[in-house]
């Protein structure tokens, strides 16, 4: 072998060895589970320990847990109770006149003072839903509804479920809405000449936690806070939010608005107000000139994260054979520090079992 060829071969071998070394180093650098997860799964002396060896069988009889951080998150329970997106016999998409979660037991937990809790304390509190407590059984599925449960904590909980082999279905409402937006954009607007804007109307808390920043990687986004107004009706507050969203499009030269994520739960109760406001803005004229029409698509689609989460939950329950399929009515129990106003939730008001 000539010297040049020998030299090149030596370099290639060194490069290959370097690659192997880097791979090994990379594996060593991967962080393991948080100590609090190790505590919950392995420390039998801990008050938060889950005995995975004796973990519940017949989980299909157990409830669906909905975790919120405010009373407004009860809207997620209301959405689940009203969902009829599937044929309950075949599992195929399409309404059959029977609610998708008919016969299911649902429990709502409000994680009070969520803003003041550490990451580890949030994990401990949420993990409490996965084991028997007094007469309350563990949940077979967890729907994270609260804005103050960060994606970081949600992924920690998923790690806990996976490492403990608990078999608990996990669904995140906020994530479900974002994924639906991604699906629309990727399917319909991948061409440069067909770019659109996704509007997000959500709580200031959600924006403070950068909950929607990932959308910007694939599409133009316009953010608008929804804040209830003490001296105005919810309809007025929603009209103000939609008007402000439209003004952002005007001021920042966004592509046309095609989708709006209804990130604030109270918006679910007033979808018609959003549609009416969009129609008004498209038809609004000054000096016979349409101000917003070129910025707002004629067929704006409202993305409802609660509905998308419910669809995902239903499919996962069927896939894992955890759906109850009872003929009895659904029942709901609520665990909150203060008694909530249930008059805003007609389905929930009927199904309450407290």
**pLDDT digits over 12-42, tens only?**
443 444 443 334 334 444 567 799 999 999 9
| Among 169, 75, 74, 153, CA closest to 114 | 153
| Among 183, 272, 267, 187, CA closest to 227 | 267
Average pLDDT value for residue range 268-297: 95
**DSSP letters along 229-262, please?**
-TTS-HHHHHHHHHHHHHHHHHHHTPPPEEEEEE
Query: CA-to-CA distance for 255 and 14, rounded, in angstroms?
Result: 51
172 - beta bridge partners? 144
**DSSP letters along 134-159, please?**
TTBPPPSEEEE--TTS-HHHHHHHHH
H or E element at residue 198:
strand 197-202
- Predicted local confidence at residue 33, as pLDDT: 79
**Tokens encoding 344:** 């805003």
Using pLDDT thresholds of 50, 70 and 90, give the confidence band for residue 48: very high
Using pLDDT thresholds of 50, 70 and 90, give the confidence band for residue 139: very high
Per CATH, 35-167+324-351 and 175-305 having the same topology is answered: yes
Instruction: Report the length, in residues, of the chain.
Output: 354
- Predicted local confidence at residue 30, as pLDDT: 54
Domains of the chain, by residue range, sit at 35-167+324-351, 175-305
Angle formed by the axes of helices 305-319 and 173-188, nearest 10°: 100
Residue 338, φ and ψ in degrees, nearest 5: -125, 145
The CATH class that applies to domain 35-167+324-351 reads: alpha beta
Query: CA-to-CA distance for 168 and 212, rounded, in angstroms?
Result: 26
Which CATH architecture best describes the domain 175-305? 3-Layer(aba) Sandwich (3.40)
**pLDDT digits over 234-250, tens only?**
899 999 999 999 999 98
Map tokens 């060829």 to a residue.
5
């Amino acid at each position: 072998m000539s010297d040049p060829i020998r030299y090149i071969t030596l370099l290639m071998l060194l490069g290959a060895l370097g690659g192997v070394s880097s791979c090994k180093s990379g594996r060593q650098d991967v962080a393991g589970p948080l100590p609090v997860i190790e505590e919950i799964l392995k420390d039998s002396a801990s008050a938060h320990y889950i005995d995975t060896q004796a973990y519940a069988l017949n989980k299909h009889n157990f409830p669906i847990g909905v975790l919120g951080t405010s009373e407004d998150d009860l809207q997620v329970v209301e959405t689940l109770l009203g969902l009829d997106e599937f044929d309950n016999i075949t599992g195929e998409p399409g309404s059959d006149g029977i609610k998708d979660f008919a016969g299911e037991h649902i429990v709502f937990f409000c994680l009070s003072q969520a803003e003041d809790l550490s990451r580890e304390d949030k994990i401990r509190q949420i993990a409490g839903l996965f084991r028997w407590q007094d007469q309350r059984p563990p949940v077979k599925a967890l729907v994270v509804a609260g804005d103050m449960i960060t994606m970081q904590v949600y992924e920690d909980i998923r790690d806990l479920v996976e490492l403990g082999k608990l078999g608990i279905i996990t669904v995140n409402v906020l994530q479900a809405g974002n994924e639906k937006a991604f699906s629309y954009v990727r399917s319909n607007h991948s061409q440069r000449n067909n770019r659109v804007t996704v509007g997000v109307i959500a709580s200031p808390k959600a924006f403070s936690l950068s909950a929607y920043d990932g959308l910007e990687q694939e599409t133009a986004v316009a953010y608008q806070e929804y804040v209830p107004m003490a001296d105005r009706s919810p309809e007025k507050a929603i009209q103000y939010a939609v008007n402000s969203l439209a003004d952002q499009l005007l001021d920042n030269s966004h592509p046309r608005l095609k989708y709006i994520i209804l990130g604030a739960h109270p918006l679910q109760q007033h979808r018609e107000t959003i549609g009416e406001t969009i129609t008004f803005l498209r038809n609004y004229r000054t000096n016979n000139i349409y101000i917003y029409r070129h910025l707002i698509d004629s067929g704006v689609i409202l993305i409802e994260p609660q509905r998308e989460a419910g669809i995902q939950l239903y499919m996962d329950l069927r896939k894992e054979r955890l759906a109850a399929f009872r003929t009895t009515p659904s029942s709901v129990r609520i665990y909150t520090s203060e008694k909530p106003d249930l008059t805003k939730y007609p389905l929930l008001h009927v199904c309450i079992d407290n």
